[in-house]
Amino acid sequence: MTMTKAAVLMIEGYEESETIQIVDLLRRADIETHTFRFQEDPFVLSMQGMYIKADKVFSDEVKDYDVIIVPGGRTAWQRFIDNEDVMNTLKWFNENNKLIAGMCSGTKVLEAAGVLAGKTVTGYTGYADVLKSAGKFVEDVAVYDQNVITSQGPATPYPFAFKIIEVLGKDPAPIKERLLYALAGGR
């Protein structure tokens, strides 16, 4: 039996709270999760000026993963878009009907890669005008349509990660219970 694998991208300017919370929750769900960087130095500078260690250097290895995840970051999204390898990999995931997930400004990256075309998506406040290729923009916290999962912003990594966990065929309920998620009013 092979373990489900998630690749989380980290480029300079990534939103650290989104990234670290997503990785933590996926690992709690027994999903083999690795962070991928775009530099030799394993410590990647985040949006808030923190250096956090990434697991691996970005390569074609990510194509062996079940899901590729693009978190947000006010300056990271443009760096992702400017990276031809990232754009080609996202297109490859879409062409091969593999799972793609993006939250906050990460949804701009998915838009630029052309993977949102005709799909129902959500995004950060005001992104209805940015995610133009989407078939439908909704105000839901996290949305799954076809092979794409999207989420709104910095306050939504938990529902975003739970949606990824569900789509990968695992039940997030035990994790939610241990975190007192329902008691805290989580959606």
Task: Specify the pairing of strand 51-53 against strand 142-145.
Answer: unpaired
How many domains, the chain? 1
pTM (two decimals): 0.95
3-state secondary structure 34-59: EEEECCCCCEEEECCCCEEECCEECC
**147 inside domain:** yes
**Residues linked to residue 94 through DSSP beta bridges, in sequence order:** none
**111 inside domain:** yes
Assess whether pLDDT exceeds 60 at residue 173: yes
CATH of the domain at 35: 3.40.50.880
**Average pLDDT, whole number, for the chain?**
94
Residue 12: what pLDDT?
97
Assess whether pLDDT exceeds 90 at residue 186: no
**186 inside domain:** no
Assess whether pLDDT exceeds 80 at residue 40: yes
Angle between helices 106-113 and 84-95 (to 10 degrees): 70
Residue 155: what pLDDT?
86
Chain centre distance of CA 34: 12
**185 inside domain:** no
- With contact defined as beta carbons under 8 Å apart, do 87 and 97 qualify? no
**183 inside domain:** no
**What DSSP element (H or E) covers 77?**
helix 76-82
**187 inside domain:** no
Residue 1 pLDDT class (50, 70, 90 cuts): very low
> What is the pLDDT averaged over residues 63-90?
97
Separation CA 134–CA 101 (nearest Å) = 14
Residue 2: what pLDDT?
59
With tokens 């799954």, the residue in question is 144
Residue 151: what pLDDT?
97
Q: pLDDT tens for residues 108-120?
A: 999 999 999 999 9
User: For residue 66, what are the domain limits?
Assistant: 5-178
Q: pLDDT tens for residues 129-152?
A: 999 999 999 999 999 999 999 999
Residue 183: what pLDDT?
74
Assess whether pLDDT exceeds 80 at residue 72: yes
Both tokens assigned to 34: 């690795």
**126 inside domain:** yes
